[in-house]
Amino acid sequence: MIGNWNTTAVRTLRSLKGTSAPMTYTLIAVCCLIFVLGPASGFTPSYGTGEALAAAQRAYFRHWGVVPAGLFDGPAREALTPATALFIHGSWVHLLGNMLFLFVFGAMTEERMGRVEFTLFYVGCGYLALLGYAAANATSQQSLVGASGAISAVLGAFLYLFPSARVTSLLPFLFFLPLRFPAWVVLPFWAALQWLALGQAPAGPGVAYLAHLVGFGLGFGYAWGRYGRRTKVRTARAPAPEGENQP
């Protein structure tokens, strides 16, 4: 069994070295592994079942996630939680939705930025996105987890770097027909949906739409400031990424 795991690990590392976007796939793999080993997946018997499992999940999210009230008034270790929260997800839907967006938009963005810059960009913007949400909800005791702030930053950078890249979108008012639009249409539309949802979001647990918007703005601003007009990539004839645009 140990030998099989070692062989699998070696093959995985070799395959990552051969890709043009190894950090994108590494981030996806790490998020998936952490989720499977954590209490939210239901795969680890040691967390128990029923109320014991629910209590373990609450404690897990509170320890590794961002609790705005604790972030600003708690111990120094709380300052690390906006980074650790990027790798924690609350459910299978939460995980798979985020990883789909990272898979679709992360590879081309990483290819443009390079491995090291992309990794620092991803973690840094994700940290600031969660920090921005916490600052706007400084008295909240609710735990915030998920990579969506960092992934939203990737979407923002993608919009600036590859505005003409074609993205497959599912539009519900057209019976979920997959239609292809350029990124400059799809991604601002996605951001507009986040803004509208933010205005209607109830108080308490839910989707952190503000973190999405902060991350998106940070990503677009970083790409604009870092690369500028003269180095912006033109992708009118480039291979089109496949993705979904869902709120």
Spell out the SS3 assignment of the chain.
Answer: CHHHHHHHHHHHHHHHHCCCCHHHHHHHHHHHHHHHHCCCCCCCHHHCCHHHHHHHHHHHHHHHCECHHHHHHCCHHHHHHHHHHHHCCCCHHHHHHHHHHHHHHHHHHHHHHCHHHHHHHHHHHHHHHHHHHHHHCCCCCCCECCCHHHHHHHHHHHHHHCCCCEEEEEEHHHCCEEEEEEHHHHHHHHHHHHHHHHHHCCCCCCCCHHHHHHHHHHHHHHHHHHHCHHHCCCCCCCCCCCCCCCC
Structure tokens at 175: 């019976």
Q: Give the Cβ contact number of residue 4 at 10 Å.
A: 8
245: left (phi over 0), alpha (psi -120 to 50) or beta: beta
Token couple for 125: 């913007």
Considering the candidates 140, 143, 148, 152, report the single residue annotated as catalytic.
148
Q: Is 148 a catalytic residue?
A: yes
Q: What is the spatial distance between Cα 137 and Cα 143, in angstroms, rounded to a whole number?
A: 11
- From the list 94, 140, 152, 212, the catalytic residue is 212
Per the annotation, the verdict on 89 as an active-site residue is: no
- Just list the catalytic residues: 148, 212
